[in-house]
């Protein structure tokens, strides 16, 4: 039976680049890898075929010889058969981990490095609502989270008191089983112990051998001043407990800044809109405005227009500098920008109307320089 063309097997053209060749092999190997297709003889044969083709075409010298002589250039019988020249490929784990890293877990390098029964617990996320005062001064809230905790009865081992896990008899405690696939040596996680190398013969009655139980825990947090919306605080080891004595995961606390009824945040600066009476804007006045530190007096200059922005220095928020002294942080606070909008009276009594009409008659455009300038610009535009 004649062998299929290696380029055809990988679904690539003969002029394919090294990078595209690797991508094609990766895709096909993932699809037909034995770990993803257990007890599938057809997938196993397909995997051997794909691996054989890649082993030749990935080597520039072998590829050149194959391009010139075909399968005959590979020793007459094709790669993988007696007489074939593939050089020293090492075991399957070495070749495959270069392409896929830890993607197969127990099939590659990760299982080989995970001696012992422990499996790391999952990381957890907690959304913490904070307000601007928390950003200004920091806070130390207590949060209560549901999670898997270490079983106190067995100290997380999963074994009943007075006993301990035994070496797995199927893999001899290695956690892996080796299989020969063509010219590759494939390591798989042991199905008896799940790759741990140990089995529990006398499980803990409280956790049933898992080493952890459902529960809750109260955690005291320390949120530094200056945190922003969406910032993450990692609390090491406060995620879910590991399986069978493995290390615990981490807790990630995500800050959700609540909307303030008065202030808007922009970095370390704050923005505030305040209404000013028509007379105050015209004549000037001193008004009281709120800040995070309390009320302060703000001078409204005479003739202030609606939309004008006035600045109060140092009345914003501190930057995020967790290791800096709080006294120093206060000196680095941003500013508060106060945007003025002038309120025009909507209801006038007879006397007020009379006074405004007299005011209008006497002033003309003299007190409305912007209006006068705009009218002149319109005239110039249309002329």
Strands 124-130 and 251-257, how do they pair?
parallel
Task: Determine, yes or no, domain membership for 381.
Answer: no
* Shared-domain flag, residues 289 and 242: no
- 322-326 — which CB contacts under 8 Å span 24+ positions? 322/224, 326/225
> What whole-number distance in Å separates Cα of residue 307 and Cα of residue 334?
21
Task: Determine, yes or no, domain membership for 282.
Answer: yes
- Residue 45 C-alpha from the chain's centroid: 39
CATH assignment at residue 36: 1.10.287.110
- 341-347 — which CB contacts under 8 Å span 24+ positions? 341/273, 341/274, 341/275, 341/276, 341/306, 341/307, 342/275, 342/276, 342/277, 342/278, 342/281, 342/304, 342/305, 342/306, 343/275, 343/276, 343/277, 343/278, 344/278, 345/278
> What whole-number distance in Å separates Cα of residue 226 and Cα of residue 279?
39
* Shared-domain flag, residues 138 and 219: yes
pLDDT at position 283 is 93
pLDDT at position 178 is 79
Task: Determine, yes or no, domain membership for 145.
Answer: yes
Cβ atoms of residues 167 and 173 within 8 Å: yes
Cβ atoms of residues 309 and 274 within 8 Å: no
| Domain ranges, residue 236 | 124-160+209-257
**pLDDT per residue rounded down to tens, the chain (383 residues):** 567 889 999 999 888 888 889 889 888 888 887 777 777 888 888 888 888 888 889 888 888 888 877 777 675 434 433 333 333 333 333 334 444 443 344 333 333 334 445 678 899 999 999 999 999 999 999 999 999 888 888 888 888 888 888 888 888 888 788 776 655 667 777 877 777 788 888 888 888 887 888 899 999 999 999 999 999 999 999 999 887 667 889 999 999 999 999 999 999 999 999 999 989 999 999 999 999 999 999 999 999 999 999 999 999 999 988 888 878 888 899 999 999 999 988 888 999 889 888 888 887 655 455 656 656 666 766 66
* Shared-domain flag, residues 253 and 128: yes
Coil vs helix vs strand at 235: strand
* Shared-domain flag, residues 28 and 59: yes
* pTM reported for the whole predicted model: 0.57
> What whole-number distance in Å separates Cα of residue 25 and Cα of residue 32?
11
* Shared-domain flag, residues 31 and 139: no
* Shared-domain flag, residues 287 and 323: yes
> What whole-number distance in Å separates Cα of residue 319 and Cα of residue 137?
11
For the chain, what is the domain count? 3
**If we measure between CA atoms, which residue out of 62, 55, 63, 59 comes closest to residue 80?**
55
CATH assignment at residue 227: 2.60.260.20
* Shared-domain flag, residues 268 and 253: no
- For 84, residues 6+ apart whose C-beta sits below 8 A from its C-beta are 74, 75, 77, 78
Task: Determine, yes or no, domain membership for 299.
Answer: yes
């Amino acid at each position: 039976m004649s062998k299929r063309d290696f380029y055809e097997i990988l679904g690539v053209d003969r002029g394919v680049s090294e990078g595209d060749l690797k991508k094609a092999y990766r895709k096909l190997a993932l699809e037909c890898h034995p770990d993803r297709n257990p007890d599938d003889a057809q997938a196993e044969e397909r995997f051997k075929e794909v691996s054989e083709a890649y082993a030749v075409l990935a080597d520039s010298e072998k590829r050149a010889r194959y391009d010139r002589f075909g399968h005959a250039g590979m020793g007459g019988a094709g790669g993988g058969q007696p007489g074939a020249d593939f050089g020293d490929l090492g075991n399957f784990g070495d070749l495959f981990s270069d392409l896929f890293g830890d993607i197969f877990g127990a099939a590659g390098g990760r299982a080989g490095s995970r001696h012992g029964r422990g499996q790391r617990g999952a990381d957890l996320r907690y959304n913490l609502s904070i307000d601007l005062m928390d950003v200004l001064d920091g806070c130390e809230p207590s949060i209560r989270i549901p999670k898997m905790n270490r079983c106190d009865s067995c100290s997380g081992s999963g074994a009943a008191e007075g006993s301990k896990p035994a070496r797995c008899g199927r893999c001899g405690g290695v956690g892996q089983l080796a299989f020969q696939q063509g010219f590759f040596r494939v390591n798989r996680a042991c199905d008896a112990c799940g790759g741990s190398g140990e089995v529990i013969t006398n499980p803990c009655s409280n956790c049933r051998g898992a080493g952890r139980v459902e529960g809750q825990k109260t955690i005291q947090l320390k949120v530094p001043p200056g945190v922003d919306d969406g910032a993450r605080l990692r609390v090491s080891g406060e995620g879910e407990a590991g399986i069978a004595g493995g290390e615990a995961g981490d807790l990630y606390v995500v800050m959700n800044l609540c909307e303030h009824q008065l202030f808007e945040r922009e970095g370390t600066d704050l923005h505030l809109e305040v209404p000013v009476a028509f007379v105050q804007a015209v004549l000037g006045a001193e008004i009281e405005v709120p800040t995070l530190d309390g009320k302060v007096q703000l001078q409204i200059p005479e003739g202030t227009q609606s939309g004008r922005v006035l600045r109060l220095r140092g009345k914003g928020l501190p930057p995020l500098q967790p290791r800096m002294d709080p006294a120093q942080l206060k000196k680095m606070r941003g500013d508060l920008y106060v945007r003025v909008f002038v309120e025009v009276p909507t209801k006038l009594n007879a006397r007020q109307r009379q006074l405004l009409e007299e005011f209008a008659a006497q002033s003309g455009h003299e007190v409305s320089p912007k209006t006068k300038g705009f009218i002149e610009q319109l005239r110039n535009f249309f002329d």
